[in-house]
Structure 1
Amino acid sequence: MSTIELKKLTFGFGNQTQLLFDQTNLIIDTNWKLAVIGRNGRGKTTLLKLIMGAYPYQGSIIHQTAFNYFPQPIKNRTQLTYFVLTEQNDIESWRIEKELNLLQADPNILWRPFDSLSGGEQTKALLALLFSDDQHFPLIDEPTNHLDQRSRQQVAKYLKTKNQGFILVSHDRSFVDEVVDHVVAIEKQQLMLYQGNFSVYEEQKAIRDNYEIEQNKKLKSEISRLKQTAAEKAEWSRGRERDKYGKPNVKGSGAIFDTGAIGARAARTMKRSKTLVNHMEQRIETKEQLLKEIETTDSLIMNVKSSYHRRLLVVENLQLGYDNQALFQPISFQLEKGQRIALQGPNGSGKSSIIHYLLGTFSGQARGSVDLAQNIPISYVRQNYEDNHGTLPEFAQEHHLVYEELLNNLHKLGLERQVFENRIEDMSMGQRKRVELAKSLATPAELFIWDEPLNYLDVFNHEQLEQVIKLVKPTMLIIEHDETFLNNVATQVIKLHGE
């Protein structure tokens, strides 16, 4: 057994005002299958890079381990896949072929140009390379991107049966549940270790959060009582201050008491009162420092327009294809008000093509019929949104959005306020995805069409979307590979089968 030990790790990027990690400690057993989870921007990938020594930091990271990182950077994507994989790694082809077989991928992809492979095939090739080397400890960053549900299940089974430990970053809850036995959550600049999978983490975190919420309630109640008492004592002290000057008689002929004695006694009483107030203020400050910051997410707002249409879409024997080659067998379904239909199928089976056909942007051949309610407003989350550009005010104006509603959802989705000033084309892919999603949420619509909405989003965003969908019950057509999300929001699943 070997370990990776973090001692008083402190790190933040120079352009950020807040540290990502502050005096945090953690010991990782390299036999663990460990998932790192947390909000986007909290430092999951950065933690992997720090462990590899990619950034300078304060504190110490102690280990006797050599690391391999997924995904490996690709220098020349036009080369044969085998040469792409072995350009920086002297690994025999039979080792990679063995891992590809375990991943249920065709080993012949090694002899095709890397850029000709599908996203799923590229992922499997890079994973096969990662585990062909048993001399290095794997650090795996988002392996489920571009994988359909079947491929995710294949990769999950592959990782689950590995005797080797690893550290995994993934936002797919079902996937994490399948493959890990420990979870590290990045919370409040600290690393919190949980033994078990994602479901165990959620249960334990809920118990801890509920306990801390109850403790916060008690502390806030006590703080409120102390503040009230301190205010009363302060007012009483001010009353004694006035007593120093004595009281006039009824006829206004001057003081009838010994004002010197009264003043001295009032001064002593006032001094004791002020000491008591200061003591209470110190107690209040101590109590306030005990208040816990609970990791919470705010509820999103979805601009659903009421529809008088009972049935918004009817699809009968629809079949799409290119060059007289059908993508899938004919399908038929109806989408009624309040229903949420999910389209499922392997990568390349034609799911997005159906959406393009509905929106009038499909360039291939079509058979069958589609009846979409006329002139209904549609809100669309695109799988490819790289053409979004400009400042957020310009973007809101271009898409006829209420700017405040766009910013409100962006902030709730975890986009930092300082990013609001950036141009969209200068944002990270995760930030740009949030802009695309916030646009859809703010667009008044009777029908919401979402094509892989969860890419680049963290598990907290997944839960936010699930909550708002279950609350407002919009009419939706969804393409998504995340099984947990679909189980929680879809009212019907339509599976596409190859021709």
Structure 2
Amino acid sequence: MLIALQDITFEFGARVIVENSSWHIVPGDRVGLIGLNGTGKSTLLRVINGEYTVSKGSVNKIKNLSLGFFNQDLLSFESDESILNVGMTAFEAAIKLEKEIERITKELETNEEEALLMEYADKLHEFEALDGYNIRHKTAQVLEGLGFSTADLERPYSQFSGGWRMRVLLAKLILQQPDVLMLDEPTNHLDLPSIEWLEKYLLGYNGAVIIVSHDRFFLDRMVNKIVELYQQELHHYAGNYEDYEEEKILRREMQQRAYENQQDYIRQQERFIERFKAKASKAAQAQSIAKRLDRLERVEQVDNGPSKIRINFTPDRIPGKIITTLNNVTKKFGKLTILENASAEINRGDKIALIGANGKGKSTLLRVIAGVEPMEGERIGGHNVVPSFYAQHQLESLDLNSEILDELKNFGSGRTEVELRALLGCFLFTGDDVYKRIKILSGGEKARVALAKTIISQANFLLLDEPTNHLDMNSVQMLIDALAQYDGTYVLVSHDRYFVSQTANKIWEIVDGEIKEFKGTYAEWEEFKKRQADALKLASGDKGNESKKKEIKKEQATNNNNNSGKKDNTPAPDQPKNAPFDKEKQKELQKYKRQFQQLEDQLAKLHEKKASLETAMNNPDVYADRKKFQQLESEYAQIGRDLKQATGEYEQVFEKLMELEG
């Protein structure tokens, strides 16, 4: 055993973080420490690290235990050294020895005494035992794995932004190889390739690892135990996060059954006491049962955790079939080329995830799509498109002197205060938090306010740049559920693979200045990339299995055809070129325009009614009245059918309009 937390209680001020709880950490543990935001996960790591002392119980560690703690406070570190040198400080003993060897080497130029030669030989042997000759290579390997280029290694640490500095400090911590490595939100500062590299590295790590993370994919792949900090207690589960979810459901079901059985027993005993306490022949027995009930250890009713509030996006109008078209777009920053003659098309209903390494231009492309980034080429906006752009720079649009609730009220969404407070609750603003002024909020809190404003914007086209960065798992899941119900179109940038896997039906990558599109989910894209990698291995190896090579080439060709991001500009066979625009055609065009407007109005009313029914169905009182619930459910199903029919007619009329206007 490396660390034993035995029956500990710890209070932070007047607030109890953990009470009478135990946790034993052994070699080989890969533990995911989870819990709602604000429950004290990071504080518990500091207790283990020895920064705080428990008020009750004990924290015992084996002798000479080395602990490594990766957390946000590390950003206070400053240095003008190169990042390679900063990373190499992980090998403190080897660096100290190297300096001593340099000193002795210089001294040997004028002094060849046997004692000095023996000391030199001993130091060389010790340096070799510490693998000192490889520390530069090891450091470079880890830094490059975390996303730095070879050229970056000699740049001063002070020149890098906060996120990149955190990567340097993570590299240093990994290189120190402590017995217990504690990582507080390590993936917040990493892009997808770096997260994947870290996963591979940690899977082979010899020490124990404790991870606090909101990245479900990372936890599923990394941990073999889950410790949940919930209601001031530590609850232990075997397996990864997915196993924890399944086990927790079973535990809740068992607890609920035990609670209900005990309540039945208590009611029976109380009825007996009430009936016979006044009868002389049964009074003693009734008194004995009453004492037994007083001593009974009560099973608590299951607490289902935070309430599941439905977040609703409500697009104001339905756009045309094409949302945005990019033709031959080029975007450069000095010598850095982001896009070069790139073309792409976003269609109504697309749910696009734009993924890839940092520095590839994902956020730049998002701004190009939004029309706020100057570029060469053509960007064509679609008919009736109402966009809403969420990104870090959007925080500038917040009124710093407003209270959070007023900021949303003044946005003019037409939502009630109850609806706005419920929405803010999803984004971790509860109770009196909604009256805080925006100017006193942290960067993460401001980002959550901006995201809430995006949701109530009634837009039919969303551009979301890292929307999950400041959310806990519960809030991320609510956002996923909301996007699943969203009738509009969106393009999102995210390094949260679980979020991407649950929300995207297309994957975009920027490769050599072009936008590469894959039509499919994230899981399908991963499988496709794996097959591509296998194909490359076959192509670069011996002749091997020729039939397998042909099969992979054929599959690649099929995928490339299916996932080409380029438009087919060939006119349809029945589409006349340069047809005269006669009066009959003009009449027909006017007719379809009137029909199009009527259908637009009809769809707007249907969407409004659907939103109204969803609000009514969110009211718990409805479920108490069976008839009312069945009526609402029937109306909701009918609205769904009406919407489907009206949308089909709308699309047909829209296509006809485009044909006549073209």
Shift of 1:303: 2.8
Partners of 1:194 and 1:205 in 2: CA distance: 8
Query: Cα deviations across residues 302-338 of structure 1 (Å, max 9, x unaligned)?
Result: 2322533242513233332223642035544433333
Which residue pairs with 1:70 in the alignment? 70
Match of 1:290 among 300, 303, 308: 300
State the AA in 1 paired with 2:9.
T
2:339 counterpart SS class: coil
2:9 counterpart SS class: strand
Contact preservation (8 Å) 1:213, 1:294: no
Partners of 1:490 and 1:108 in 2: CA distance: 35
Which residue pairs with 2:141 in the alignment? 101
Which residue pairs with 1:168 in the alignment? 211
Partners of 2:430 and 2:291 in 1: CA distance: 34
Which residue pairs with 1:243 in the alignment? none
Which residue pairs with 1:126 in the alignment? 169
Contact preservation (8 Å) 1:344, 1:480: yes
Partners of 2:158 and 2:8 in 1: CA distance: 39
Partners of 1:20 and 1:61 in 2: CA distance: 15
* TM-score relative to the length of structure 1: 0.79
Contact preservation (8 Å) 2:10, 2:54: yes
State the AA in 2 paired with 1:40.
N
- Alignment of 1:378 onto 2:421: no
Taking a change above 3 Å as real, the CA distance of residues 23 and 215 of structure 1, as seen in their structure-2 partners, is: same
Contact preservation (8 Å) 1:176, 1:197: yes
Which residue pairs with 1:81 in the alignment? 83
Shift of 1:226: 6.4
Partners of 1:306 and 1:179 in 2: CA distance: 43
Extract unaligned runs of 5+ from structure 1: 238-266
Which residue pairs with 1:186 in the alignment? 229
Q: CA RMSD in A?
A: 3.7
Contact preservation (8 Å) 2:461, 2:489: yes
Query: Cα deviations across residues 148-188 of structure 1 (Å, max 9, x unaligned)?
Result: 21221111111112222221212111122222222212222
Higher relative contact order (CA 8 A, sep 6+): 1
**Alignment map for 1:98-497 (pairs within 5 Å):** 98-102=138-142, 104=145, 105-106=148-149, 108-117=151-160, 121-135=164-178, 137-216=180-259, 290-311=300-321, 313-317=323-327, 318-323=329-334, 325-362=336-373, 364-374=374-384, 376-384=385-393, 387=396, 388=398, 389=400, 390-401=402-413, 402=415, 403-497=417-511
Partners of 1:472 and 1:409 in 2: CA distance: 16
Query: Cα deviations across residues 55-83 of structure 1 (Å, max 9, x unaligned)?
Result: 23322211132322214344325543245
Partners of 1:446 and 1:113 in 2: CA distance: 45
* TM-score relative to the length of structure 2: 0.61
State the AA in 2 paired with 1:28.
I
Partners of 1:122 and 1:81 in 2: CA distance: 9
Query: Cα deviations across residues 79-109 of structure 1 (Å, max 9, x unaligned)?
Result: 4324545679736495364044145344553
State the AA in 2 paired with 1:8.
D
Shift of 1:340: 1.3
Deviates further, 461-470 or 312-321:
312-321
Shift of 1:452: 0.5
Shift of 1:458: 2.1
1:39 counterpart SS class: coil
Which residue pairs with 2:33 in the alignment? 36
Query: Cα deviations across residues 421-465 of structure 1 (Å, max 9, x unaligned)?
Result: 433343344444432332222332222221111112222222222
Contact preservation (8 Å) 1:343, 1:494: yes
Partners of 1:481 and 1:353 in 2: CA distance: 16
Identity, % of aligned positions: 24
Partners of 1:45 and 1:458 in 2: CA distance: 14
Partners of 1:461 and 1:139 in 2: CA distance: 24
Partners of 1:184 and 1:143 in 2: CA distance: 18
State the AA in 2 paired with 1:311.
K
Taking a change above 3 Å as real, the CA distance of residues 359 and 284 of structure 1, as seen in their structure-2 partners, is: farther
Shift of 1:352: 1.3
Taking a change above 3 Å as real, the CA distance of residues 324 and 140 of structure 1, as seen in their structure-2 partners, is: closer
State the AA in 2 paired with 1:484.
Y
State the AA in 1 paired with 2:367.
H
Partners of 2:336 and 2:253 in 1: CA distance: 56
Size of the alignment, in residue pairs?
Answer: 460
Partners of 2:497 and 2:188 in 1: CA distance: 14
Extract unaligned runs of 5+ from structure 2: 96-131, 514-662
1:185 counterpart SS class: strand
State the AA in 1 paired with 2:61.
H
Partners of 1:28 and 1:152 in 2: CA distance: 25
State the AA in 2 paired with 1:75.
F
